Amino acid sequence: MLQTTDAIVLALQPYSDKASILRAYVRTGGCVSYMVYGAHSKQGMKKGILSVLSPLNLIELTVDSKTTQQLPTLKECHLKYVPIATTDIARQCVRMFVAELLLKTLRLPLSDERIFNYLCDLVQEIDTTENLHELPQQAMQHISELLGYGGVMLDEWRSLKSIEVLQTIFG
């Protein structure tokens, strides 16, 4: 049965000579893995599959979810948002950092519309923001709040000055 959904690419990991495993955060299913065949082949290189499946790309997936297979198979994918600054090294570093952060923190297949919408906005903000040096910290704070690790303690830490934080930590 073919299904189409929106997703954010987290990682593409080689599995064998012919297959790779795509880890993506899907709007309807949370963090999900898919089997991708031919991404590293000559035909896949000509089609540009690796550039579409690079980390933190917003894509539209068409997957075949047969019940006999352990992982659903990716049949087709298209970019929904084309990154503007693909040659800017600083922006690429921030994209890789955020992708790695999401790969380590978003492990369960629980869908959350708020997280997905924030990640879509974050991907676009990486390309357009002028304060790029502040973006990774803001992303970590906002993602932790969305995952339920924020709250009163985080607000207290934000209100403290850096010297007070050091005194609190080291006594």
Q: What mean pLDDT, rounded, does the chain reach?
A: 79
The pairs formed by 86-94 with CB atoms below 8 angstroms and a separation of 24 or more are 90/132, 91/126, 91/127, 91/132, 94/126, 94/132, 94/135, 94/136
8 A C-beta contact, residue 52 and residue 77: yes
- Give the CA diameter of the chain: 60
Please check whether the domain covering 2-157 is classified as CATH 3.40.50.11540: no
Domain ranges of the chain: 2-157
Residue 122 has a pLDDT of 92
- Tell me how far CA of residue 1 lies from CA of 33, 35, 65, 66, in angstroms: 17, 15, 6, 6
pLDDT in tens, 61-109: 888 877 566 888 888 888 888 777 667 888 888 888 999 998 888 877 7
Q: Does 19 have pLDDT greater than 60?
A: yes
- The sign of the torsion formed by the CA atoms of 133, 137, 140, 143 equals negative
Q: Is the pTM of this model over 0.85?
A: no
pLDDT in tens, 101-138: 988 888 777 778 888 899 999 988 988 888 888 888 88
Residue 52 has a pLDDT of 77
Can you tell me whether residue 63 is helix, strand or coil?
Answer: strand
The mean pLDDT of 41-65, rounded to a whole number, is 73
Residue 159 has a pLDDT of 60
> In the chain, pLDDT over 70 holds for what percent of residues?
77
Euclidean distance between CA atoms 136 and 100, whole angstroms? 11
